[in-house]
Amino acid sequence: MRCCCIKCLGGIPYPSLIATILLYAGVALFCGCGHEALSGTVTILQNYFEVVRGPVDSLDVFTMIDIIKYVIYGIASAFFVYGILLMVEGFFTSGAIKDLYGDFKITTCGRCVSAWFIMLTYIFMLAWLGVTAFTSLPVFMYFNIWTICQNTTILEGATLCLDPRQYGIVPIGEGKTVCAGSEKFYKMCESNELDMTFHLFICALAGAGAAVIAMIHYLMVLSANWAYVKDACRMQKYEDIKSKEEQELHDIHSTRSKERLNAYT
């Protein structure tokens, strides 16, 4: 029983397991915190900036937020499946290396699948780099808002305003400015929505960064496995050729021995 457990634990691809856990943690952090941060952004825009939803067929900030939420749902589902596929690939690759002469044999299809996973993971890594850069934008915006709120409490009488038109949230023709000294400004700065949304976007940015690290880890693991499988395949071909040659030499030697025995008799 103990030997069986040790054998099972030895067959686990730990690098792929660590990368999968990091990927799931990063995607969960990004999707969960990003979704709630977007909901908090909608609340802030409606309560303090008095931004209203446009018609159904118009593309306003609320429609874009809804689209991003659906994209988040897709990201969570897609990378949950992709993490499982990479784990399965890690198990099969480890099995191919450790049981090279067992029931499982390395095939050309297996090497092509490993190369395809390397290419796909590299593309996903670039995509997550773009997601990380995109997530840093709301962090920068909320940091500016938080800084303005802090400066108004330090510098009394300062005329500081928040204009969502600077970030392209509302059209240029709509004036939704909230300035220091107004009741809405102080309510927004003291509200939990602003502080919570700001920190949720920071957590979402950290989750996207963790996903990038997981993709890089996957690339290293997949590249190493592909190289090991390639070398193992060459060794397997060499051993097959060597075994075939030895068998041929044995057959030749046996044939000559029989011929000499027949000639002697």
Q: What is the pLDDT, as a whole number, of residue 225?
A: 78
**179 sits in which H/E element:** strand 178-179
pLDDT band at 101 (very low <50, low <70, confident <90, very high): very low
Q: What is the pLDDT, as a whole number, of residue 26?
A: 95
Q: What is the pLDDT, as a whole number, of residue 175?
A: 67
236 vs 85 pLDDT, higher one: 85
Using an 8 Å Cβ cutoff, are 14 and 188 in contact? no
Residue 230 Cα distances to 10, 151, 182, 201, 207, angstroms: 22, 61, 69, 43, 34
Q: Which residues are CB-neighbours of 18 under 8 A, at least 6 positions away? A: 217
Tell me the two tokens of residue 64.
């874009």
Domain boundary assignment for the chain: 2-263
99 vs 82 pLDDT, higher one: 82
pLDDT band at 233 (very low <50, low <70, confident <90, very high): low
- Centre a 10 Å sphere on the Cβ of residue 39 and count the other Cβ atoms it contains: 14
Which of the residue ranges 49-58, 85-94, 194-203 would you say has the lowest mean pLDDT?
49-58
Per-residue pLDDT averaged across 155-172, rounded? 71
Q: What is the pLDDT, as a whole number, of residue 80?
A: 93
Using an 8 Å Cβ cutoff, are 170 and 61 in contact? yes
Residue 167 pLDDT greater than 70, yes or no: yes
**pLDDT tens-digit series, residues 27-55:** 999 999 999 999 999 998 888 888 777 77
Residue 102 pLDDT greater than 50, yes or no: no
Q: What is the mean pLDDT of the chain?
A: 80
Dihedral angle, C-alpha 145, 146, 149, 152, nearest 10 °: -100
**pLDDT tens-digit series, residues 234-252:** 666 656 676 776 776 666 7
Per-residue pLDDT averaged across 94-112, rounded? 55
User: What whole-number distance in Å separates Cα of residue 89 and Cα of residue 13?
Assistant: 10
pLDDT band at 120 (very low <50, low <70, confident <90, very high): very high
Considering the entire predicted model, what is its pTM? 0.79
Residue 181 pLDDT greater than 90, yes or no: no
